[in-house]
Amino acid sequence: MKKSINIKAAIYPMPVLMVATYDENGTVDVMNAAWGTQCSSDKLVLCLSARHKTAKNLRLTGACTVALADAAHMKEADYFGIASGNDMADKFERSGLTAVKSNLVNAPVIEEFPLTMECELLEEIDGANLHCFIVKVVGTLADERILKEDGKICVHRLDALTFNQFRNKYFTTGEKAGDAWGAGKELM
Question: What is the amino acid identity at position 179?
Answer: D
91-128 as b/e, with b when 16 or more CB fall inside 10 Å? bbeebebebeebebbbbbbbebbbbbbbbbbeeeeeee
Q: For residue 88, what pLDDT is reported?
A: 92
Q: Decide which of 183 and 34 is more confident.
A: 183
Burial class (CB in 10 A: 0-12, 13-18, 19+), 139: middle
The pLDDT tens digits of the residues spanning 162-173 come to 998 888 999 998
- Name the pTM for this structure: 0.94
The pLDDT tens digits of the residues spanning 13-71 come to 899 999 999 999 999 999 999 889 999 999 999 999 989 999 999 999 999 999 999 99
For the chain, domains (ranges, CATH) are: 14-175 (2.30.110.10)
- 174, pLDDT greater than 80: no
Task: Report the percentage of the chain scoring pLDDT > 90.
Answer: 77
